[in-house]
Amino acid sequence: MSAPGVLSFTQQGWEQVLAKVKRALVYLDATCAESLHWGCGSTRLLEAVGGPACYLREFEPTAVGGGADQPKAVFVLSCLLKGRTVETLRDIICRSHFQYCVVVTAVNHAVHLTANHVPAAAAAELEGQQPVFEQLEEKLCEWMGNMNYTAEVLHVPLLLAPAAPHLALTPAFACLFPLLPWDVHLLNSARPDKRRLGSLGEVDATALTPELLLQIRCLVSGLSSLCEHLGVREECFAVGSFSRIIAADLANYAPAKNRRKTAAGRASVVFVDRTLDLTGAVGHHGDNLVEKIISALPQLPGHTSDVMVNVVELTALHTEEAGQNVVAPGCLAQSSDTAAKALWEALLNTKHKEAVMEVRRHLVEAASRENLPIKMSMGRVTPGQLTSYIQLFKNNLKALVNHCGLLQLGLATVQTLKHPQTAKWDNFLAFERLLLQSIGESTMSVVLSQLLPMIKPSNQRTKDDYSPEELLILLIYIYSVSGEFTADKDLGEAEEKVKNTLAQVFCEESELSPLLQKIAGCDSSINLTFHKSKIAVDELFTLLRDIAGARNLMKQFKSVYVPGNHTHQASYKPLLKQVVEEIFNPEKPDPVDIEHMSSGLTDLLKTGFSMFMKVSRPHPSDHPLLIFFVVGGVTVSEAKMIKDLVPSLKPGTQVIVLSTRLLKPLNIPELLFATDRLHPDLGF
């Protein structure tokens, strides 16, 4: 295996699981299935099981149990073994005939002790022991009906879904999102008056809900395992108040102390709050084909970052409608297909035009290798041209099987190029550029007035007009890129006009999308009165003001907007780019907004002495490996920008980009309006 990285970390974890699954019935939860999907593929698991039948099942309360001829089960779970999760285990086992059960959890034993309220001092004394896992092993034997049957409970860190060598996602934490002032009010509602929080800057670990704190600890447990695999002692840094809590938890994570003492390598882990720059998340400036594919095609069920590719035209079925529910969809992750994987990584790392040409080149080369009658054509790549190449494989089973992964990526490209959403992408981009110029030349009230004519009820909208969800994306863009602004009478009036128009549009929707149902607090437009709608829109604008003020606590990274001048138009400068440039600033000043999290007395003494002695504080550019974690999601373009920028600023530095999920613009309003952000469902 090559040098340790996100892929080897994931594959090593899955090898431990695969060693247990021979002739077993395997139950996976959706998050672990996503890690498998990107890490080594379900084919690898099926090969390891080795049975003639399909022995994979989704872990859920209604899952079918094992028959008399299925004595062995392996459960692969991303969550804590507690509450509802244990009840589901019990129910499946009790209706089965198992004699051998293995339960794999992605959360280590130390976090199980925390979840069971074992004090830190008592947990430290239990080092090397695993009482929670041992108790569950006894329960498993009890549920199987014989204490002499075999039960195993073990921890394997199945944290990541590696999308590329430089980019990995954490599907179990796809809904983890930094807090906004809106959330401070909710936290205060559960606190006595004397302990009320004044601002987001005052939020620390003690202020969070127990569920959210435990979710952070589960993430930290996985990241510590990654650092162990990479053989590094990490220095933790944070940009933003929520990232500060996560970074501090990792820096002071007790089970990591011994590991750090013996680690040969060093790394900087920099956490960044997504909320400090939502412009890049909802904007359309990323000239990348994969971003457009993710935005245009429907999400693969149970997944957070992959999509469904319709492969019906590779079959003999006559209509797409008939085939939709008959033929399993294709997807983007091609972990076991070397050629398709190479194309996928090329798509991640090139601009749209080059990416489409790369798809054509791969299809032409594959057709040539299979001696298919290909007609070469140069010049602009069209969806029709790509389709004609793909169709060549249709009646040649051997060629179809050999290049299945490549054909899925080819079809994803064709379907995206033909999708109405792709044509709209350019409209969004044009309007965003117009907004950037307007923000510099006009007040916020004028900018909102430009948006007003674009807010249309469903019976007046054409395919080129913006839906309510798309208008939300534009509003988030406007408020995030503008940053803090002065509220005046004109702005109040402009906002009120937009609010009233938007509230009316919500009421006149023939059907409310899941997002609009969440925002309006109403499951049907029939029951949505203007009064209800207006209250919901007022709350929406409170949230938009929070987004505009998200960088208020920053001293250096206060703006993502670069005003125009005589030679340059106004532009957007990503906060992530500013952070990377500051990390590798050749003058190496002490970063103002990139906070170092001390991991004990030695670090605290260093920080204290540095105020009056020449002791260098830890700096994020000190080490040969930079792990850059964006809390709340990252776009393909942002990941590429970080990957390319780091070695250009400091050659020889390796960078890994981690994030909770791969973003498309619509994800941001969905995450902002998620009802369980402060109280995540941890399965118990």
134: helix, coil or strand? helix
How many residues appear in the chain?
Answer: 684
| pLDDT reading at 556 higher than 90 | yes
Sheet of 625-631, strands arranged across:
161-164, 167-169, 654-659, 625-631, 265-273, 232-239, 595-597
Distance between CA 15 and CA 12 in Å, rounded?
A: 5
Nearest to 480 by CA among 278, 181, 178: 278
Nearest to 75 by CA among 32, 23, 138: 32
Going by C-beta distance under 8 Å and a sequence separation of 6 or more, which residues neighbour residue 671?
A: 175, 177, 632, 633, 677
Strand pairing class (595-597; 232-239): antiparallel
Give the mean pLDDT of the chain: 91
Looking at residue 198, what is its pLDDT? 86
| Chain segment 349-384, per-residue pLDDT in tens | 999 999 999 999 999 999 999 988 887 777 789 999
Residue 557, both tokens? 């990274």
| Chain segment 197-252, per-residue pLDDT in tens | 988 989 999 999 999 999 999 999 999 999 999 999 999 999 999 999 999 999 99
Distance between CA 495 and CA 225 in Å, rounded?
A: 48
Helices 636-649, 338-349: crossing angle, 10 deg rounding: 80
Residue 380, both tokens? 């602009």
Which strand (E) or helix (H) includes residue 262? Answer: helix 257-262
| pLDDT reading at 538 higher than 50 | yes
Are 211 and 254 in contact, with CB atoms under 8 Å apart? Answer: no
| Chain segment 562-571, per-residue pLDDT in tens | 998 878 888 9
Distance between CA 224 and CA 230 in Å, rounded?
A: 10
Most distant CA pair in the chain: distance in Å?
82
Compute CA distances 497 → 34, 100, 449, 501, whole Å: 44, 66, 9, 6
| pLDDT reading at 182 higher than 90 | no
| pLDDT reading at 442 higher than 90 | no
State phi, psi for 71 to the nearest 5 degrees: -80, -10
Q: Which residues does residue 630 pair with via DSSP β-bridges, in sequence order? A: 272, 659
Residue 102, both tokens? 């293995």
Looking at residue 323, what is its pLDDT? 47
